[in-house]
Amino acid sequence: MSRQKASPESVLVKEPEKASIDKLEQILSRESAQPKLVGSNGEEILIPESVYSILRQIVHGMASGQSVSVELHNPELTTQEAAEILKVSRPFLVKLLKEGAIP
């Protein structure tokens, strides 16, 4: 199956956004209840845990000064696609699979 690729561009926090990103990280790190998104029209929707988990990781990386990019892929990969993601050769990955070192 082929991977869908997000834009190859990474996002780095711009100086005017730094304070907002830092505040957002503080809120996300201490949030205990399920968060919600409130639209400009007042419409509210609970943020699913899977989305919230990724959002926390993205905001933490940005607050730490890291650039962030998102890569989308199908849940099933060919060994070549998996090797490219892991940045190893396909033969090495196949060897690990055959040895049972990875599922």
pLDDT in tens, 31-46: 666 788 999 999 999 9
- Cα–Cα distances (Å) from 36 to 19, 31, 47, 49, 68, in that order, read 21, 11, 5, 11, 23
Domain boundaries in the chain?
10-70, 72-103
- Decide: 72 and 6 in contact? Cβ < 8 Å: yes
pLDDT in tens, 45-82: 998 988 988 998 999 999 999 989 887 877 888 999 99
- Cα–Cα distances (Å) from 85 to 53, 72, 77, 91, in that order, read 21, 11, 10, 14
**Confidence (pLDDT) at 45:** 93
- Decide: 79 and 69 in contact? Cβ < 8 Å: no
HEC readout, 34-86: CCEEECCCCCEEECCHHHHHHHHHHHHHHHCCCCECCCCCCCCCCHHHHHHHH
